[in-house]
């Protein structure tokens, strides 16, 4: 047996340090538990309300017309996230795919979309045409214009006059079909949006651009608070089932929830116009998707507890942490500024070494599809790339920040 050890190996002061930290963050953990309980009740109510039964775990084949379990799963997602309609599909291969289905489904040549939270998450950028317009049919290749402001960094999302003015500066361009909001920090040090921030933002946006579709990339935000973006004025949200709402159980997939007409447009992009949401068997995954959703509020809470623990541990060790351990959180990500590439690599190696799966492997920085910089990922996870499971990743660029998340 390799790697056998006990706590004493970490040094005699280790236990004391852990117990000091746990004492200090106890009130934070208690608040997290209250949120988890409310969310758990919301999820349980939806399962009961829709009479989830053993039969719903069966799936159809072929076209997948009228698959009862899938339809129930989607009705439950719509209820929990506050939308009229949902798509919850293994055919959505990732969060990026779900998000791009929304973009391509809604935007048309001549339209523009305005990101108000800076440049969207790395893996969305190739589809926007930020690196190469023509390659593989980016939005830019379809004559869809991208505009960007960063209201979070510039105004902390709470400067009403500033926000309205900035959006008005773009209003000359009548064709802003969509405003794009990213809830989580992504690979940046700006804070995640809270639902209150988002509500403030959607109100300002709607006063200036009443017809615009407000889309929210909801990755890493699900169940962190007791309300979700559609309850704060957003029109459409999307995310990944190997993050929060998959509860660590779903082996893959993505979701889209929002106004029915918008979800239908995204569905037409996922399958084909005319087919939309009517097609798509789940290949026996309904049980995992539903069980994961049921467990999600608890494991999101575990992830939030791990994040505040890590924040205080690394703060005490002299590192800058974002957010601080006691800050109110809008997502499950904990950023730690390690300052050198060697520490990034070392950190990820340790996370990998103490993982239940692939503990014997060594992560190395490497190119990843959709990412411009080399990325190192520690993911000793049951589901490849899953990040509600304890995981860490980082682009190997200054200021050398590692992003830690997960609680499984
Ligand atoms: C992870 C993530 C995505 C993309 O999701 P994948 O499932 O990795 O494709 C998009 N936006 C944010 C903020 C994310 O954290």
* pLDDT tens, position by position, 170-200: 666 567 899 999 999 988 888 899 999 999 9
Q: Which residues pair with 378 in a beta bridge?
A: 392
Residue whose Cα lies nearest atom 6 of ligand 1: it is: 95
User: Which residue among 118, 121, 303 is best mutated to probe the pocket of ligand 1, counting the most ligand atoms within 8 A of its Cβ?
Assistant: 121
Nearest-angstrom CA–CA distance, 387 and 390:
6
How remote is the CA of residue 257 from the centroid of ligand 1, in Å? 16
Ligand 1 binding pocket includes 163 (Cβ within 6 Å): no
244-269: average pLDDT: 98
Q: Is 314 close to ligand 1, i.e. is its CB under 6 Å away?
A: no
Structural contact between residues 85 and 264, judged by C-beta atoms closer than 8 angstroms: yes
User: Which pLDDT tens digit goes with each residue over 280-295?
Assistant: 999 999 999 999 999 9
- Pick the residue whose CA is nearest to atom 5 on ligand 1: 95
Query: Sorting pLDDT into bands at 50, 70 and 90, what band is 219?
Result: very high
| Residues 115-163: tens digit of each pLDDT | 999 999 999 999 999 988 777 899 999 999 998 888 776 555 566 666 6
209 Cα–ligand 1 center, Å: 27
pLDDT at 150: 82
Pocket probe mutation, ligand 1, options 182, 185, 186, max atoms within 8 Å of Cβ: 186
CB 221 within 8 A of CB 203: no
Contact (CB, 8 A) for 322 and 337: yes
Residue among 115, 184, 388 to mutate when testing ligand 1 (max atoms within 8 A of CB):
184
- Give the per-residue pLDDT at 48: 98
**The ligand 1 atom nearest the CA atom of 182:** 13
Which atom in ligand 1 lies closest to the alpha carbon of residue 99?
10
Ligand 1, residues 89, 243, 254: which to mutate, most atoms within 8 A of Cβ?
243
């Amino acid at each position: 047996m390799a790697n056998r050890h006990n706590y004493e190996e970490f040094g005699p002061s280790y236990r004391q340090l852990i117990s000091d930290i746990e004492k200090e963050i106890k009130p934070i953990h208690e608040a997290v538990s209250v949120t988890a309980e409310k969310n758990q009740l919301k999820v349980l109510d939806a399962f009961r309300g829709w009479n989830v039964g053993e039969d719903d775990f069966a799936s159809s084949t072929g076209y997948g017309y009228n698959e009862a379990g899938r339809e129930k799963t989607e009705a439950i997602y719509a209820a929990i996230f506050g939308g009229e309609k949902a798509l919850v599909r293994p055919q959505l291969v990732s969060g990026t795919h779900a998000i791009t289905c929304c973009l391509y489904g809604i935007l048309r040549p001549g339209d523009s979309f305005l990101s108000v939270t800076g440049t969207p998450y790395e893996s969305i950028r190739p589809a926007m045409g930020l690196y190469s317009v023509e390659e593989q049919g980016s939005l830019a290749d379809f004559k869809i214009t991208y505009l960007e402001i960063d209201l979070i960094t510039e105004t902390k999302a709470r400067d009403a006059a500033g926000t309205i003015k900035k959006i008005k500066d773009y209003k000359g361009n009548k064709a802003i079909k969509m405003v794009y909001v990213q809830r989580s920090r992504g690979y940046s040090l700006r804070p995640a949006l809270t639902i209150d921030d988002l509500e403030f933002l959607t109100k300002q946006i709607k006063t200036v651009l009443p017809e615009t579709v407000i889309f929210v990339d909801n990755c890493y935000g699900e169940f962190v608070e007791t309300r979700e973006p559609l309850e704060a004025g957003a029109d459409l949200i999307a995310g990944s089932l190997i993050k929060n709402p998959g509860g660590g159980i779903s082996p893959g997939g993505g979701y889209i929830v929002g106004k029915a007409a918008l979800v239908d447009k995204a569905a037409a992009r996922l399958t084909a116009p005319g087919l939309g949401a009517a097609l798509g068997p789940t290949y026996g995954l309904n049980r995992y998707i539903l069980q994961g959703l049921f467990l999600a509020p608890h494991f999101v809470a575990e992830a939030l507890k791990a994040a505040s623990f890590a924040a205080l541990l690394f703060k005490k060790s002299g590192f800058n942490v974002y957010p601080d351990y006691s800050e109110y959180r809008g997502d499950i990500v904990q950023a730690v500024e390690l300052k050198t590439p060697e520490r990034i690599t070392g950190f990820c190696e340790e996370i990998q070494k103490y993982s239940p799966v692939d503990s014997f492997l060594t992560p190395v920085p490497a190119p990843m599809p959709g990412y411009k910089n080399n990325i190192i990922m520690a993911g000793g996870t049951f589901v490849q790339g899953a990040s509600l499971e304890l995981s860490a990743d980082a682009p190997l660029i200054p200021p050398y920040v590692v992003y830690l998340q997960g609680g499984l």
